[in-house]
Amino acid sequence: MKGLLLLVGAMIVLCAAAFGTMWHVDMDNTSGIEDGTPWATAFTVIQDPVDIASSGDEVWVAEGTYPESITIPESRPMTGPKAGEVRAFEGGEFAWVPAGTFEMGSELSAERVESTYGGQAQWYKLEHPQHTVTLTKGFWMGRYEVTNQEFELFGKETGYKTEAEREGWGYGWIKDTGKWDRVNGISWRNPGYAIQPKHPVALVSWHDAVAYCRWLSRKTGGRYRLPTEAEWEYACRAGTRTEYQWGDAADDGRGWLNGGDQTEYEGQCWPTPFNFEDGYWFAAPVGSFKANAWGLYDMHGNVWEWCHDWFAVYPSGPATDPQGPSTGTHRVGRGGGWSEVPGFCRSAARDGVAPDHRYGSMGFRLCRH
C-alpha cells in the first residue's frame, strides 16, 4: 500500500514539473486514506496557483522547485486534526471542523418558532425542508468574526473603500424609531455606535467581505473564503441537534451570546427579547461569550455573518457538499445579530440580503484551506 502511494506521489510531482501545474501535498486531507497510513501520501490538485510555501504539515510543490524527496516520520499516523483543534494562521486563529453529516434546517414549523422564540412566522418559512447534508471534507473556520483591527489593516494596505464609504450611506439602527433604516455618512468606521478594535467589523457588504478574503489570500499565500451556508450551520451546531448550542431554551443562553436582550439603552428595550441581560446593546468584542464544542465564538448573535451562497429554497432531498445555486439576487446571512429576537439567533435561522447591502449588525468570518 505504502509503496503504491509513494509511486503515485512521485508521478504527480513529475507531472507538476512537466506541465507547470502547482500541486499540494496536503497532510490534513485524509479522505480515502486508512488510519495508520504513514504521512506521505495525500495529494490534491490546487486549481488556483498560489505562492510556494512550506508551513507545518503541508508542502507546496511547483515546477522546478519540488524536493527530491519528502521525509515524513513513520510514527505519525495520518489521522488529521481533531474536531476543534486550534491553529494560528496568518488570518488569525482557526478551529478544525471535521467532515460529517447533519440535519440542516429546522424541524420546527415556522409557526412553532414564532410562538416559542418570537418574531414572525414568515421569517422562518425558508428554514424548511429539513434535509440531510454531508460534507466530505473538513475545513478550518475562524474562531472569531473578523474584527475592526483586522479590516483596518486591509484598508491601509490596499486603499480599499467599502461600498458604504464609496456611496456615502448604510443601514443603521435609528434610536428615535427603534428600527433599521438608511443613514447617510455611516460606514464600518462609524456604524452608528462607538467601536473598538476587537469589535467585529460591521456595515460591510458581501462584496466587501469577498474583497477582504481575496486580499488575505494574496498576502499570505493561503486560501481564505467565506463559508458555504451548509458549512456555517454544521460548524454552528458542532454536533448538536438543538435550537442553540446550549439547548432548546432561549433563556438558558446567558453567557453564550449577545442578542436582543433585556439590557436597556437610554430607556429603550428590545421587543420580545432573551430573558436576561448580556451586558451589551450594540456589538460586543469578539470572544466575549462562551465558545461552542468546536471552539467557535459568537456563532449565535453579535453580528450576522455573510455566507458564500446565493439565498434559495432548500432542496427536498439529501445533499453532498452543497454550494447553493449558481445565480440569485440575495446572499445568505447567518447567526443573528446584537438586536435580534431569539428566533433569529437559532442554529437553523437564515436570511437573504442583497450583496451590496450593509447593516450595522452584519459582518463575516473566514474559512481557510
Q: Write down the mean pLDDT value for the chain.
A: 84
Give the model's pLDDT for residue 86. 97
pLDDT band with cut points at 50, 70 and 90 for residue 79: low
CA–CA separation, 108 and 93 (whole Å): 34
Averaged over 37-57, what is the pLDDT?
34
Same domain, 126 and 53: no
In percent, the amount of the chain with pLDDT more than 90 equals 74
Q: What is the pLDDT of residues 65-74, one digit of tens each?
A: 434 444 444 4
Q: Which residue has the higher pLDDT, 313 or 5?
A: 313
Same domain, 42 and 183: no
Q: Which residue has the higher pLDDT, 211 or 9?
A: 211
Q: Could you tell me if residue 152 is inside a domain?
A: no
CA–CA separation, 127 and 118 (whole Å): 15
The residue behind cell 418559512 is 125
Same domain, 218 and 134: yes
Give the model's pLDDT for residue 359. 97
Q: How many domains does the chain have?
A: 2
Q: Could you tell me if residue 232 is inside a domain?
A: yes
CA–CA separation, 23 and 20 (whole Å): 9
Q: Could you tell me if residue 325 is inside a domain?
A: yes
Same domain, 248 and 287: yes
- Of the candidates 107, 119, 131, 102, the residue with the CA atom closest to the CA atom of residue 250: 119
Give the domain range for residue 15.
2-61
- Total residues belonging to the chain: 369
CA–CA separation, 114 and 120 (whole Å): 5
Q: Could you tell me if residue 170 is inside a domain?
A: no
pTM score over 0.85: no
CA–CA separation, 290 and 279 (whole Å): 14
Same domain, 100 and 48: no
Q: What is the pLDDT of residues 342-369, one digit of tens each?
A: 999 999 999 999 999 999 999 999 999 8
CA–CA separation, 362 and 340 (whole Å): 12
Q: Could you tell me if residue 133 is inside a domain?
A: yes
Buried b (16+ CB within 10 A) or exposed e, 73-82: eeeeebebbe
Averaged over 187-201, what is the pLDDT?
97
Out of 171-180, 211-220, 221-230, 308-317, pick the least confident: 171-180
Q: Which helix (H) or strand (E) holds 156?
A: helix 148-158
Same domain, 188 and 40: no
Last residue of a domain, one of 17, 44, 61: 61
Last residue of a domain, one of 61, 78, 110: 61
DSSP helix/strand/coil, 290: coil
Contact yes or no for 302/283 (Cβ under 8 A): yes
Q: Could you tell me if residue 123 is inside a domain?
A: yes
DSSP helix/strand/coil, 226: coil
Q: Is residue 222 pLDDT above 90, yes or no?
A: yes
The residue behind cell 501520501 is 41
Q: Could you tell me if residue 281 is inside a domain?
A: yes
Give the model's pLDDT for residue 199. 98
**Residue at 274: amino acid letter:** F
Q: Is residue 89 pLDDT above 90, yes or no?
A: yes
Q: How far is CA 238 from CA 74, 251, 259, in A?
A: 32, 20, 20
Q: Is residue 13 pLDDT above 50, yes or no?
A: no
Contact yes or no for 86/143 (Cβ under 8 A): yes
Q: What is the pLDDT of residues 227-276, one digit of tens each?
A: 999 999 999 999 999 999 999 999 999 999 999 999 888 878 888 899 99
pLDDT band with cut points at 50, 70 and 90 for residue 200: very high
Contact yes or no for 202/361 (Cβ under 8 A): yes
The residues with which 181 forms a beta bridge, in sequence order, are: 172
Same domain, 116 and 51: no
Give the model's pLDDT for residue 43. 36
Q: What is the pLDDT of residues 292-302, one digit of tens each?
A: 999 999 999 99
Q: Could you tell me if residue 361 is inside a domain?
A: yes
Q: Which residue has the higher pLDDT, 179 or 209?
A: 209
Same domain, 125 and 51: no
Contact yes or no for 298/336 (Cβ under 8 A): no
Give the model's pLDDT for residue 268. 81
Q: How far is CA 303 from CA 14, 200, 257, 286, 335, in A?
A: 48, 7, 10, 10, 7
What CATH number does the domain containing 333 carry? 3.90.1580.10
Contact yes or no for 349/114 (Cβ under 8 A): no
Give the model's pLDDT for residue 269. 83
pLDDT band with cut points at 50, 70 and 90 for residue 176: confident
Q: What is the pLDDT of residues 134-152, one digit of tens each?
A: 999 999 999 999 999 999 9
Same domain, 55 and 97: no
